[in-house]
Amino acid sequence: MNTDPCVHCGFCLPTCASYRVLGTEMDSPRGRIYTLKAIANGELSLDATVAKHFDSCLGCLACVTACPSGVRYDQLIEATRPQLNAPELRSSAQQAFRKLLFALLPYPARLRALLTPLRLYAGTPLQALARRSGITRLFGPQLEALDQLLPPLAPAGFRDDFPLVVPAQGPRRARVGLVLGCVQRLFDPAVNQAAVQVLSANGIEVVIPPSQGCCGAVTHHQGELSQTNELAIGLIQSFEAVVGPGKPAGAGPLDAVLVAASGCGHTMKAYGRLTGSSFSAPVADIQEFLADLGLSQPFLAALQPLTHADGEPASAKRPLRLAYQDACHMLHGQGISSQPRALLNAIPHIQLREATEAGVCCGSAGIYNLVQPEEAAALGQLKAKDLAGTGAELAVSANIGCSLQIRRHLQELPQPVPVLHPMQLLAQSYSG
């Protein structure tokens, strides 16, 4: 573990989400690097108190972007996470809650079984009443956070009804695989529907293996290495099962494997290093791929202005004001920031407004908003204020975790701001 390049300058501190809400050096990147050095030198041992200061890290990687000395904090925290899973470092309640999350979140079938009865509750007046009455608080902060993040559950989230191959409209420009994401397909199924529509309308054939599961991002970010390995291999195999000579999706190779959730994309891009295995085609974020390929001329020509909440179409005189929220694993983890903005700017009469702290984490960070709910809520409130402060009518997020988190906090504002994925806006604009 190379902590040497850190010169303790502190440039990373203002960008650090945990330092922002906890305000202690031990909860900053510089403090954690110092702690790692002390552990390596035998001056400190990794006990439960020290582990707490690593658990408070969101893994947002903003410090990596900010560091002028090139410190690879991402590698340091990734190497540290598995050690934090030692049973003596967390209470039995914390361990049980984490086990429950890792047994549910990466498995859409299990999650669907659990959530089916909750369809009568999520997004209904009953949920609003339960929240207002404070009854959800009785179940403890973690279950309360689960309830706060639970969106209305659309019937489409409980079905896998994409065909194996969605043909390209017009001349075929590319052939890609699409990873649906385990949380995204359940909690926001409209995103994948929009993604498939936009790809196909741009002359891109889409292969969607029906047996695909989770990419392993949720376990990877928590240092659960063997489960991550198992999930990653399973996902790779689900593509190998359908693409190739004599296979149901045809022999033609894929140009890329895409995903519309940036947390997933970040982990999938690391498969080679993590598992020694990889897809037969490079992984790309859907925005990254589309911006690089370029939107097709027929698609661009068909784009129509979106409408304001009052039903009036956006116009040069009254553009639709959007605030794009950079997901950390997209911005800091994959260096993608201009591509989603370029795609959004293709929609007529859009005005992009920039938040003042675009690089600071919203508090979602995988399961962080469930296991560290107080810190996550404080960050979510800061982010909602920052996004709403731009005067935007709509917030745009390309990561399901961020969408759920900022949607929760933007809804709590006196003037709630809805949140959509860039693919949803492109699909809406294309459909007129």
Q: Which residues bind ligand SF4 (CB under 6 A)?
A: 6-12, 15-18, 29-30, 32-33, 57-63, 66-67, 69, 71, 73
- Tell me whether residue 74 or residue 230 sits nearer to ligand SF4 (CB atom): 74
Instruction: Write out the DSSP string of 153-205.
Output: --GGGG-----SEEPPSSS--EEEEEE--HHHHHH-HHHHHHHHHHHHHTTEE
Phi then psi dihedrals of residue 177, to 5 deg: -100, 155
- Tell me whether residue 372 or residue 397 sits nearer to ligand SF4 (CB atom): 372
- Tell me whether residue 76 or residue 264 sits nearer to ligand SF4 (CB atom): 76
Distances (CA, A) of 58 to 195, 236, 280, 313, 357: 28, 27, 31, 39, 16
CB of 64 to ligand SF4, least distance (A): 7
Instruction: Write out the DSSP string of 217-243.
Output: HHHHTTT-HHHHHHHHHHHHHHHHTTS
CB of 364 to ligand SF4, least distance (A): 12
- Tell me whether residue 3 or residue 403 sits nearer to ligand SF4 (CB atom): 3
- Tell me whether residue 203 or residue 333 sits nearer to ligand SF4 (CB atom): 333
Structure tokens at 183: 């949380």
CB of 287 to ligand SF4, least distance (A): 22
CB of 229 to ligand SF4, least distance (A): 23
* Separation between Cα atoms, residue 177 and residue 257, nearest integer Å: 4
- Tell me whether residue 69 or residue 133 sits nearer to ligand SF4 (CB atom): 69
CB of 370 to ligand SF4, least distance (A): 16
CB of 257 to ligand SF4, least distance (A): 26
Query: Between vectors from CA 131 to CA 129 and to CA 135, what angle results, nearest 5°?
Result: 95
Distances (CA, A) of 203 to 176, 199, 368: 11, 7, 38
Instruction: Write out the DSSP string of 285-303.
Output: EHHHHHHHH---HHHHHH-
CB of 178 to ligand SF4, least distance (A): 29
- Tell me whether residue 22 or residue 199 sits nearer to ligand SF4 (CB atom): 22
Structure tokens at 406: 């900022």
Structure tokens at 48: 């439960």
